[in-house]
A = this chain, B = another copy of it.
Amino acid sequence: MAQDMLLYWGSGSAPCWRVMIALEEKQLQGYNHKLLSFDKMEHKSPEVLNLNPRGQLPTFKHGDNIVNESYAACLYLETQFKSQGNQLIPDSPAEMALMYQRMFEGLTLNEKINAVIYYEYFVPEAERLDSVLKRNKDALASELKLWEGYLQKLGTESCMAGQHFSLADVTIFPNVANLFRYGLSAERYPRLAEYHTLLKERPSIIASWPPHWQENPKGQDTLNDV
């Protein structure tokens, strides 16, 4: 069933990883895929641009349906394969409300992480200011305290929106994994660290773990003072 799917992806990209976790959870192993290199600018190659005018990864196709945005692909896969694999949107209105709420707050988390770890990538050298990077780090610290509180309230061994693994985890876990790869302190953020430890043993996450992280488990220490 997954043979009519094609994914172009980059290793370590949170958006790509989201789609790969969703594919694993929905038992869609066996999809066609091609690992591309951001460093070699392969995401701007004609084969990607042909499906994705933005030249971004992931680029994902199911039959003739193109769904490149990671959140879009996750929602599409869950809806199209609702009864296959693990259910990723809870039926209960209260759980569903919390799941959607956290899932979309995850976009703010993503943005605040990127504003620190990719600061030099996004901002040309002549425009960089230590004061801005410091402000971005402070904003990330405030953001992370919110998430610590959310997890605290849910209790130990909880997923992001309650007891069940959901699209909130599919979309947010790659961001949390990035935080710790970039040196976030497990002592200062114990609930996020516990969440990271719990979910990294999940089969869908092990199966989709970024290959260059396996070769090179430790990233830069950009976040060790956040």
Q: Is A178 an interface residue (CB 8 A)?
A: no
Kindly supply a per-residue 1/0 record for chain A positions 16-44, scoring 1 wherever the CB is within 8 Å of any chain B CB and 0 otherwise.
00000000000000000000000000000
Q: Are A100 and B146 in contact, with the CB atoms below 8 A?
A: no
Q: Are A100 and B67 in contact, with the CB atoms below 8 A?
A: yes
The binding surface of chain A is classed by DSSP as helix
A89 to B149, CA, bound (A): 33
| Contact of A64 (CB < 8 Å), options: B53, B66, B76, B94 | B94
In the complex, the chain B residue whose C-beta lies closest to that of A52 is: B101
Interface size on A, residues (CB 8 A): 37
A54 to B100, CA, bound (A): 16
| Contact of A96 (CB < 8 Å), options: B69, B70, B76, B100 | B76
Beyond A72-B103, A103-B72, whether A97 also contacts B66 by CB under 8 A is yes
